[in-house]
Amino acid sequence: MVSIRTEDVSYRKRCYVQALRHTGWTFQRIANDQGLAVSTVYGICNSPATPQREGRCGRHVIIDTRTRRMLVFEATSTAESRRKPLSDIAQEVGIQVSAKTLRDAFAKEGYHRRVARKKPFLNETQRNRGLRFALERHNWTAED
């Protein structure tokens, strides 16, 4: 008989072996029926039905939620701090990360920076025309 490791058995077959065991079959009978070693059947029956992950999955979080919120609070606390570079704000809080990581952290909290648009200059004539336009149409209805 060819030696098959417990990890090499397909998920479907592992579920089938566990189902047979729950119906009352012995380890030897399952091993003979499925062409597996008794030790493999024993290992399958004593392992969880669904595969378990070892440790945490995914990417390691550099800046957690609490720190991100603290950064945003610091950045929005005063008018002066709203104009500071993100790296200066991070230094004040005591965080040493790259500029991209900071931008991503602020973006994750919904905080984005934009360049302020220049307000167009309106001379006296333009202001008077706008005021006259608004006053003429002040009492208009939706049909008008």
Note whether residue 127 is domain-resident: no
Structure tokens at 32: 């003979």
Q: Are 46 and 39 in contact (CB under 8 A)?
A: no
Tell whether 70 is covered by a domain.
yes
24 assigned to some structural domain:
yes
Residue in 52, 64, 120, 118 with CA at minimum distance from that of residue 95: 64
Contact 20, 36 (CB under 8 A): no
pLDDT, tens digit, for every residue of 64-112?
A: 999 999 999 999 999 999 989 999 999 998 999 999 999 999 999 999 9
Does residue 31 sit within a domain? yes
Q: Is residue 144 part of a domain?
A: no
Q: What is the pLDDT of residue 143?
A: 85
Segment 46-69 shows an average pLDDT of 82
Residue 131 lies in a domain: no
Do 25 and 34 touch, CB atoms closer than 8 A? no
Domain residues for the domain of 87 are 65-108
On whether both 104 and 72 belong to a single domain, the answer is yes
Domain annotation covers residue 103:
yes
How many distinct structural domains can be found in the chain? 2
The mean of the pLDDT values for the chain is 88
> Within a domain: residue 125?
no
Q: Rounded to whole angstroms, how far apart are CA atoms 104 and 83?
A: 18
